[in-house]
Amino acid sequence: MNSQEIFAIVTRHAQEVVPGLENHQFEPTQSLKDLGANSIDRSEIVMMTLDSLSLNIPLVETVKATNIGELVNLLHAKL
């Protein structure tokens, strides 16, 4: 799976969790926090993404990512 596909999965789950992002133009430089996700929302989005990717890594390993692009790169490297 390439980074673009992972990006699409992250943003799809962000739309499920955070209201009002249905028509949002996501950019890799945007952070989930700035898009309105609180810490619980963020952990939900990341867990849903891990589930979609069948990627079993501790959530704590994803906290270093400060924006969506970094999260995608981090996950891509673990696949």
Q: Return residues touching another protein (CB under 8 A).
A: 16-19, 40-41, 43-44, 47-48, 50-51, 56, 59
Looking at beta carbons only, is 9 or 18 nearer to another protein? Answer: 18
The separation between CA 69 and the C-alpha centre of its own chain, rounded to angstroms, equals 9
Q: Count how many residues are written for the chain.
A: 79
Minimum Å gap between C-beta 7 and another protein is 20
Minimum Å gap between C-beta 41 and another protein is 7
11, 26 Cβ separation under 8 angstroms? yes
Looking at beta carbons only, is 18 or 68 nearer to another protein? Answer: 18
3-state secondary structure of 71: helix
Minimum Å gap between C-beta 15 and another protein is 11
Rounded Cα–Cα distance for residues 19 and 31 (Å): 15
